[in-house]
Amino acid sequence: MKEIKCPNCQTVFKIDDDSYYEILKQIKDEELEKERTVLEQKYEKELQLQKEKFDAQFKALQQETQVKEKEWMIQEERLKHSLMQEKEKELQSMQEEVSNLKNQIQLSKAQSELENEKIAHRFEKEKEEMEREKQELVNKYALELKSKDEMIEYYKDMKLRLSTKMLGETLEQHCEIQFNQLRATGFQNSYFEKDNDASQGSKGDYIFKEFDEDGNEIISIMFEMKNEADKTTTKKTNESFLKELDKDRNQKHCEYAVLVSLLEPESELYNSGIVDMSHRYDKMYVIRPQFFIPMITILRNVALKNVQIRKELEAIKEQNIDITHFEEKMMDFKEGFLKNVDVASRKFQSAVDEIDKTILHLQKVRENLLASDRQLHIANKKVDNLSIRSLTYKNPTMQKMFKEQKGK
């Protein structure tokens, strides 16, 4: 027998063992049920709190993600817009520089062409002036040729009155006197002397040379004087002296050769005054004595004009060289410009790549957030699927207690 005490009235009862254990079992069952209920309530409350916490964190994370995405999108658009504006400004500036340089080149070429045209026009004008002067001289000499008969008669009379040697010397002296009369005024930079150098077997009569202000020789002429009374040779034609004159001219390195002749007085060809023999010997002329000074003047003026033209051509050449240097500088600038464009393009592409990397990073963050969202959903499902059955799964003791409780 067992004694138990009523918790309310404090009365002591005696009961048998079976009843005692049955009451004890009921009490334990009630206590277990209370504990189970408390545990379930506590667990459900904790799960609810955890779920609310997860939900709040997830919402906050979603909001933060949306804000970050908007900020990144705004920054990306701003960066792209800023980069595009900078590149457009750089390209516009470079295009303006190229346009300015092209305009400068065109202007320079136009100026050079204009200057060349001016020089060519001046050259043509001077050429026409020379032709005019030449024609005037021809006309002038044509008038003088009218007196050829008188001159021929004069020399014929001189030939009759003077000896052969004397006549030859008088022709040379006549030419020398004519030159010396004009030497001080018209031939200050000239050399005119007898050719006394016969070391190579022969010699001419006179050598004329003209020099510029720097002392450079600009023209040289070998003169030979011949007349009918000359007994040094049996040759009576001008043609017979040309070969020897050409030889003497080459030995003394003279540019021109001029035969001043009284031979063939009846020849219409030679009586015309100046005969060009360049078809036989280079730069060779046959003239009558009255054309001695005019011939020197013509050849000297032509030489001076050639020197002036050469200087102008050298100046034009220098200008062309300057234009070439300018074009070379332009090509250097073009190459540098292309390099700058290439560097700018590569930097722009690098910036775009960095933006793409940032976008990929944001996509990874987004994927992580979505993965976190999926995990939260899985956690919510697990909370929703939580039950007494799942808690007592593979727990025989708890299963037995719940079955006994349900059986009652």
DSSP codes joined into one string, 240-268: HHHHHHHHHHHHTT-SEEEEEE--STT-H
Q: What percent of the chain has pLDDT over 70?
A: 76
**Does residue 207 contact residue 254 with C-beta atoms inside 8 Å?**
yes
CB 168 within 8 A of CB 225: yes
Binning pLDDT at 50, 70 and 90, where does residue 157 land? low
Q: Is 217 helix (H, G, I), strand (E, B) or coil?
A: strand
Q: What percent of the chain has pLDDT over 90?
A: 8
Q: Provide the pLDDT for residue 167.
A: 47
Residue 165 has pLDDT above 50, yes or no: no
- Who contacts 72 (Cβ-Cβ below 8 Å, separation ≥6)? 358, 359, 362
* Most confident range, picked from 33-42, 158-167, 247-256, 304-313: 247-256
> pLDDT confidence of 227, banded at 50, 70, 90?
confident
Q: Which of 172-181, 223-232, 316-325, 387-396 has the lowest mean pLDDT?
A: 387-396
Q: How far is CA 317 from CA 125, 313, 321, in A?
A: 20, 6, 6
> Tokens 């001043």 appear where?
260
SS3 for 86-126, per residue? HHHHHHHHHHHHHHHHHHHHHHHHHHHHHHHHHHHHHHHHH
What is the rounded CA–CA span in Å between residue 220 and residue 210?
7
Burial 259-287 (b: 16+ CB within 10 A, else e): bbbbbbbeeeebbebbbebeeebebbbbb
Mean pLDDT, range 262-289, rounded to an integer: 88
Of 33 and 296, the one with more pLDDT: 296
pLDDT of residue 58: 79
Q: Is 4 helix (H, G, I), strand (E, B) or coil?
A: strand
pTM: 0.40
pLDDT, tens digit, 9 for 90 and up, residues 348-360: 677 667 777 777 7
Name the average pLDDT for the chain: 77
What pLDDT band is residue 408 in, cutting at 50, 70 and 90? low
Task: Decide: 211 and 217 in contact? Cβ < 8 Å.
Answer: yes
Per-residue pLDDT reduced to its tens digit, 353-400: 777 777 777 777 677 777 766 776 776 666 566 565 665 666 677 666
pLDDT at 325 over 80: no
